[in-house]
Amino acid sequence: AQSVTQLDSQVPVFEEAPVELRCNYSSSVSVYLFWYVQYPNQGLQLLLKYLSGSTLVKGINGFEAEFNKSQTSFHLRKPSVHISDTAEYFCAVINTGNQFYFGTGTSLTVIP
Amino acid sequence: NAGVTQTPKFQVLKTGQSMTLQCAQDMNHEYMSWYRQDPGMGLRLIHYSVGAGITDQGEVPNGYNVSRSTTEDFPLRLLSAAPSQTSVYFCASSQDRRKQYFGPGTRLTVL
């Protein structure tokens, strides 16, 4: 079975500072990895995904993530955050079936 | 395209009542799923469908029924609501496994 662990439930960061949101997964088979963002009272939007190829994946809004197979990690990074990045971020994995497994989420709060 | 739509946006039920959460998509996607979102638990898959007439259970299926008579619609039924089913429910659709489109959610409270 797959599982996703997001190590930080809340991450406060000052505006224009860098941020890293951590995600680790467990799986014995090849997986696809995703980061989604949820703004208050909205559904989830896809930030970026890793399917294959380059381990550094760039997404929308200046976010990027690096797939590290040996550490089974897929951490999300942004070099300079904005107030508008305040949201809940979810890491997810899907295997050869069709079931997504989501982490418990990280609440990013950008402080002016 | 309207994308994925969900109705209602908010609902309050009494314990034991039944109701159906509606989900529709106009993108001709084969895959559709229902999730519930609870604080500190992320999203958990309730049921999913890989095409009309085909449904399967996810991680937390108990207390919920689904059917998929058309490609567009994937309703979620609560036959006898319980307070433990108070949650935010999201429907999602995708053509392949690489990108899901989420609806805006239904906030359900069971008293």
What's the confidence (pLDDT) of residue B30? Answer: 92
- Say if the Cβ atoms of A102 and B58 lie within 8 Å: no
CA separation for the pair A86, A80 (Å, rounded): 13
3-state helix, strand, coil split of chain A in percent (to 5) is: 5, 55, 40
- Taking the Cβ of residue A32 and every Cβ of chain B, the question of whether any pair is shorter than 8 Å is answered with yes
Q: Is the pLDDT of residue B2 over 80?
A: no
pLDDT digits (tens, 9 = 90+) for B9-45: 999 999 999 999 999 999 999 999 999 999 888 899 9
Determine which of B100, B106, B107 to mutate to test the interface with A (most A C-beta atoms within 10 Å): B100
Give the Cβ contact number of residue B61 at 10 Å. 16
Q: Is the pLDDT of residue A101 over 90?
A: no
Q: Are B76 and B26 in contact (CB under 8 A)?
A: no
pLDDT digits (tens, 9 = 90+) for A75-91: 999 999 999 999 999 99
Q: Are A34 and A25 in contact (CB under 8 A)?
A: no
Distance from CA of A5 to the nearest CA of B (A): 10
CA separation for the pair B76, B91 (Å, rounded): 9
CA separation for the pair A56, A74 (Å, rounded): 9
**Hey, what are B72's tokens?**
């567009």
Q: What's the mean pLDDT in A91-102?
A: 80
CB contacts of A25 in chain B (<8 Å) are none
Q: Are A81 and A57 in contact (CB under 8 A)?
A: no
pLDDT digits (tens, 9 = 90+) for A23-74: 999 876 667 899 999 998 888 999 999 988 888 999 999 999 999 988 999 9
- Say if the Cβ atoms of B100 and A51 lie within 8 Å: no
| B56 sits in which H/E element | strand B54-57
**Mean predicted lDDT score pLDDT of chain B:** 93
CB contacts of A46 in chain B (<8 Å) are 99-100
